[in-house]
Chains A and B, each alone.
Chain A
Amino acid sequence: MNAPRCLIAEDEPLLAAGLQADLAALWPELVVAAQVGDGASAVARALALQPEICFLDIRMPGLTGLEAAQELAEDWPEDTPFPLLVFVTAYDQYALAAFDAQAVDYLVKPVDQARLQACVSRLQTRLQTRLQTQVADRSAPPAGTAPMPDDTLAQTMNQLRALLSAAASTATQPPKLLDVVQAQVGNLVHLVAVAEVIYFEAADKYVRVITAEREHLIRMSLRELLPQLDPQRFWQIHRGTVVQARCITTARREESGKVTLTLARRSEKLTASRLYAHLFKGM
């Protein structure tokens, strides 16, 4: 077996060095494949290197640790096991402790030796179990092409979802729900009733607003827009897509765990990521 590899994402250089040193003492075989100081680099490096473990600081410039984990969950290649996640935070504002001993682990800074030891043991056990499942799969006669959707992945997704919604709910007082979207083109402002919108799609610093007939661009991030939409009517199905539920006609679950959606009055299909696939199930 190859030595397990990890990624450390931590914006404070001393803390990153400290964690690396502590890990080296407790788990000498673990290789630190990359050490990064911001969320976007964490996603890029993790996707490129595909380590088994990611230590993610929650408060980082660019993307937070939670947002980085969300991107990883959505973009992670299907044929590779999803990394084990350990969130690191100085102050547990999302009640990470409630997830104690679940799929996603957490460390509170300053990290004491005993707690890190417990975390390391848990990671080692999980890697071991994962390895055995893979071996068992390979030896089983009609080996499926897709890897078994193991329980840990489902658990990880559940936990990530809970954390992301906890993070969203700590945002300051909810703004009023939007009735009309105003999209400016030159001197002209188009007013689009929110009820007419089929879906919103993030496009860099903008959001594309798609109705049955046309599309508009608004100068706003999806993150700013989201709290102003009625969550009963507009469902987030991907970090970059929010769709009006009554415009969805069918949802097909793919082998990868993603869900493909067809829409009323639009020909294109949308994809719901693994994180949001749970929204679509028969009643």
Chain B
Amino acid sequence: MHTLSMNRPAPAHPAPTAFAAALQRVKRRLPRTVLLVGAICLVIALILTAIDGRGFAVKLIYSLSVGVACNTIVFAAMLLSGWSTDLLYRARGRPLPDQSNAGWLGVLPGALGAALFGPPLGLSLVDGITGFTSPSMLNLNSTGSRLTLLFSVLATLITIFVLQAQERLADARAQAEAAQRQAAENQLRLLQSQLEPHMLFNTLANLRVLIGMDPARAQAMLDRLIAFLRATLSASRTPQHPLATEFERVADYLALMDIRMGPRLQSRLDLPPALGQLVVPSLLLQPLVENAIKHGLEPKVQGGRVEVSARRDDDLLVLSVRDTGIGLAAAATAAAGQDGSHFGLAQARERLATLFGGRATLSLAEASDSEGGVLVTLRLPIEATSPTTAA
């Protein structure tokens, strides 16, 4: 059995209909089914031969045809169930549900049908071809027919459950691999966006000038840069940290940008002390602040303000990043000419979905007051962002 599992199915591609999904499943399963049925039928033929001592070859042929007939019925039932699912959903005008189980509904009725009709079908098939006459399946008094019925039902059930277990296992493994790959990719993209060459080299260029002009300030800037880099590089090792730490990282970033943009950037951080110990995903806010500056304030000639704040709303932690920049529409136009994307936003959304499921939200809107700009609001459930146990 172990050699069979080497033949691992590819991760299921999303199929357009339940029927197509069921067909995909049947196709994927066919080679292994043939091997498995062959092996089981061989065993059945051997056992039956041992019981009544009649010819082995005849037993094998009968056993094989029964096995093939049983599995054909199961496959047909799976396809039928996929097809009827499609019909049902189309009739109700609803979008199709998740297809990962398409066809499975047909398995049980299929197995039942196979147990009832598989043996007579298979037997009469061989009878028709060879001219032999086997005992009628309806005559349950015959030991041979009872045994054939029993074995074929067993064989069909074994085939189905072995294959199903294998597929489930392979699917789970493929899913785990995909999740891992996604996480690694996200981490890489976070690093790339944080260590964006423009940001890094412009910061270093400012530092170079400051070293000559104002060494004390240069040192302070270098400290901020070091803290920023350390946080970015260790974000993968500390997936969560207290909100107060997150605000410190944002402050580091804003301090760097303040030196670079000078009077064009004003910033305000507002973290009520009571919320500082709530645990949040690390570097959740910082890419959003970066977005606000990159897409909102940097393209605006006179610059503007960015405000980051936290508050509690019942059992929700509400975090907001607001800028007085050029606004969403203008930012989209400006971004059309450069390589910038709203990666920070997509990434934050993805992380919230993974960590909190549907219980956390992220909204993006034009700020409603006269100053314009963009407001990003995050809402996280507080019971999930429980206070750190380590003080």
By a beta-carbon cutoff of 8 Å, the part of chain A in contact with chain B is 11-15, 17-18, 21, 37-38, 40, 59, 61-62, 64, 90-91, 93, 108-111, 167-168, 170-172, 221, 223-224, 227
Residue of B nearest to A90 (CB): B201
Main secondary structure of the interface of A (DSSP, over half): loop
**CB within 8 Å for A223 and B333 given contacts A14-B260, A40-B301, A110-B204:** yes
**Contact indicator A91/B206 (Cβ below 8 Å):** no
**Contact indicator A172/B201 (Cβ below 8 Å):** no
**Contact indicator A110/B261 (Cβ below 8 Å):** no
Interface residue tally for chain B (C-beta within 8 Å): 32
Q: Which residues on A sit within 8 Å (CB–CB) of B337?
A: 64, 167-168, 171, 223
Q: Which residues on A sit within 8 Å (CB–CB) of B261?
A: 11-12
**Contact indicator A13/B262 (Cβ below 8 Å):** yes
**Contact indicator B333/A221 (Cβ below 8 Å):** yes
Q: Which residues on B sit within 8 Å (CB–CB) of A108?
A: 201
A96 CB to nearest B CB, Å: 14
Report if B30 contacts A (CB, 8 A): no
Among A14, A91, A110, which residue has its beta carbon within 8 angstroms of that of B262? A14
Residue of B nearest to A18 (CB): B209
Residue of B nearest to A223 (CB): B337
**CB within 8 Å for A14 and B210 given contacts A62-B301, A223-B333, A224-B333:** yes
Q: Which residues on B sit within 8 Å (CB–CB) of A14?
A: 206, 209-210, 213, 259-260, 262
Complex-state Cα separation, A91 to B300, whole angstroms: 21
Q: Which residues on B sit within 8 Å (CB–CB) of A110?
A: 201, 204-205, 207-208
**Contact indicator A15/B213 (Cβ below 8 Å):** no
Lowest 6 CB-CB distances: which A-B pairs, in order? Answer: A18-B209, A91-B197, A110-B205, A90-B201, A109-B205, A13-B262
Q: Which residues on A sit within 8 Å (CB–CB) of B341?
A: 172
Complex-state Cα separation, A13 to B209, whole angstroms: 11
B30 CB to nearest A CB, Å: 40
**Contact indicator B212/A18 (Cβ below 8 Å):** yes
**CB within 8 Å for A90 and B336 given contacts A11-B264, A17-B213, A61-B298:** no
Q: Which residues on A sit within 8 Å (CB–CB) of B209?
A: 14-15, 17-18, 21
Among B205, B298, B339, which residue has its beta carbon within 8 angstroms of that of A15? B205
Among A91, A111, A170, A223, which residue has its beta carbon within 8 angstroms of that of B198? A91
Complex-state Cα separation, A110 to B209, whole angstroms: 9
A197 CB to nearest B CB, Å: 21
Q: Which residues on B sit within 8 Å (CB–CB) of A172?
A: 335-336, 339, 341
Report if B363 contacts A (CB, 8 A): no
Among B202, B213, B299, B339, which residue has its beta carbon within 8 angstroms of that of A109? B202
A240 CB to nearest B CB, Å: 16
B373 CB to nearest A CB, Å: 14
Q: Which residues on A sit within 8 Å (CB–CB) of B368?
A: none
Q: Which residues on A sit within 8 Å (CB–CB) of B339?
A: 93, 170-172
